[in-house]
Amino acid sequence: MAKQNLEQVLEVSVALTAEQDKEKFLTMVLDAAMAAAGCDAGTLYLLEGDNLVFSRMATISRGIRLGGHSGPVDLPPVPMEPQYACAWAVLNRQPVNIPDIRESEIYDFSGAVEYDRMTGYRTESMLVVPMTGTKGETIGVMQLINALDNEEVVPFPGEIEQTVSALASQAAACILNMRYAEQVSDLLDSLVDAMTTAIDDRTPYNANHSRNMALCAERFLDRAGEKDPAWRWTEDRRRAFLLSVKLHDVGKLVTPLQIMNKETRLGDRLTGIEERFRRMGLLDRIALLEGRITEEVYRRKTEDRESALDRIRRMNAAGLQNEEDRRWAEEMSRQTFTDENGAEEPVITVEEAECLRVRRGTLTAGERQKMEAHVSETARILDRVRFPKEYREIPAWAAAHHEYLDGTGYPERLTAERIPTEVRLMTILDIFDSLAAADRPYKKARTPEEALGILRDMAEKGKLDAGILDMFEASRAWETIY
């Protein structure tokens, strides 16, 4: 290979390896090959199944450029049959150099001749070079047409074959690397989607949480980016953020279901209380029949017991527990009855009283602590994943979605200077969904307007980013979701 050609290939190789847009990359490959060969036209085919499919074509003298970002090439594919020069080159992994296609008795160039007839162009010399990677994988072929010498069409010189072959091999390796990267990316997406499904499907009260948040996030970024350049994130940043949104609740895979699914304060403990009160009624009935209590005492005890059970059921489902009921629950936990074996039992246990004393929501302090631990579990699980460097922030972002700017969040009590934009947005999305979603066990869904009002109040108190909240409200990204 001549020194000049070698230097040209090296320069082009450096430029090609830096290009991440596959369509632009393929156009650069064809242009570089045509420049190296000093020819007027070229076509690049990609191998798809048993056919070579036109990817792009260019003719300098006619100002023609098709394929890639320049629009589709509307030509039929070439079958992988050896009578076609481009197919032979792929099948045998060797270049084909033809001085004049009309004098060739080996290959079928009827398609090229017909194309010339339709366009008025004249194809003469042709160099066909397979695009084969370092491990022998062939991805396609480059077909260079009409080598030029002082604007005269001449055969392609033999020494150029090595230059173009080196370039084709480099291009094939780059394309294969892009494909591998796409496969890895698709694998990561499918694993994250499977994980998201597992998280959301684990409980009917979380059925669409992560998916709705991700959809809302995509819409927000699209609409915010149209108005503010600061929100026109790079593809890597956008993708990392959306993955962190989908994975933010992965720690809930280890959260006890009886806590996640707890619709009322007592949860399944109510059944135990009702059974205990039934036993108390039977014991009182026995005491009446045995003459140990009077009818009046039996009637009063029955009324008191039924009244207490009714109050427990009401308190169990109350939206906000008042102080009188909370004191009553504590007093009840100190009352006992004598069971059928003569042992003293509490009318309601300390744990049951603690549940009834919950002021708002359904979880006790201990249960809430276990529920809040899902963010630490999210960090623990995701820290074991070897994310590529462009996604290295995913564990930290996902685990911080309950942090507030004023330092009152959890688990690390981060303050504003340590909370990045991605987390600030995710926190707003998470709270909005928790308020507006119709599948939560402990409360009725709020309208989007009500949810926004609560978020504004939190922003005014310094917990949320008011600027991001304003943009979120302006984006209307939640419409048709909630």
Write the single-letter amino acid at 365. A
Q: Are 168 and 131 in contact (CB under 8 A)?
A: yes
Instruction: Indicate whether 482 belongs to any domain.
Output: no
- 186 inside domain: no
**pLDDT of amino acid 25:** 84
Q: Per-residue pLDDT tens, the chain, 482 aa: give them.
A: 344 455 555 555 665 566 567 788 888 889 889 998 999 999 999 999 999 999 999 999 999 999 988 777 888 899 999 999 999 999 999 999 999 999 998 999 999 999 899 999 999 999 999 999 878 889 999 999 999 999 899 999 998 998 899 889 888 888 888 888 788 888 888 888 888 888 777 776 666 888 999 999 999 999 999 999 999 999 999 999 999 999 999 999 889 988 888 889 999 999 999 999 999 999 999 999 999 999 999 999 999 999 999 999 999 998 899 999 999 999 999 999 999 999 999 999 999 999 999 999 899 999 999 999 999 999 999 999 988 899 999 999 999 999 999 999 999 999 999 999 999 999 999 999 999 987 665 567 899 999 999 999 999 999 999 999 999 999 999 998 88
Q: What pLDDT is stored for residue 441 in this prediction?
A: 55
User: What are the tens digits of pLDDT across the range 179-232?
Assistant: 887 888 888 888 888 888 887 777 766 668 889 999 999 999 999 999 999 999
Give me the pLDDT at residue 1, please. Answer: 39
Residue 194 within a domain: no
**Which range of residues forms the domain containing residue 330?**
264-361
Residues 83 and 161 both lie in one domain: yes
Check whether residue 36 and residue 107 sit in a common domain: yes
Answer positive or negative: Cα dihedral of 351, 353, 358, 363.
Answer: positive
324, 344, 361 - which closes a domain: 361
Regarding whether 147 and 33 lie in a shared domain, the answer is: yes
Count the domains in the chain: 3
Structure tokens given for 472? 């979120």
Is residue 188 a part of any domain in this protein? no
In a domain, 291, yes or no: yes
| 107/163 same-domain check | yes
Verify that 223 and 247 share a domain, yes or no.
yes
Asked whether residue 55 is assigned to any structural domain, the reply reads yes
Predicted pLDDT at 110: 92
Q: Which of 340, 361, 382 is the last residue of a domain?
A: 361
Residues 441 and 323 in one domain: no
Is 196 contained in some domain?
Answer: no
Domain identity same for 22 and 132: yes
Is 316 within a domain? yes
Same-domain status, 386 and 460: yes
Task: Return d(Cα 261, Cα 268) in angstroms, integer.
Answer: 10
**What is the pLDDT, as a whole number, of residue 379?**
94
Which among 361, 381, 413 is the end of a domain? 361
The sign of the dihedral angle between the CA atoms of 8, 9, 10, 11 is positive
Shared-domain flag, residues 397 and 248: yes
For residue 439, give every residue at least 6 positions away whose Cβ sits within 8 Å of its Cβ, in sequence order, or none: 204, 205, 206, 207, 208, 209
Specify the pLDDT at position 11.
Answer: 59
Instruction: Provide the pLDDT for residue 205.
Output: 67
CATH code at position 160 = 3.30.450.40
157 and 104 in one domain?
Answer: yes
Question: Which CATH number does the domain housing residue 431 bear?
Answer: 1.10.3210.10
56 and 146 assigned to the same domain? yes
Do 18 and 144 share a domain, yes or no? yes
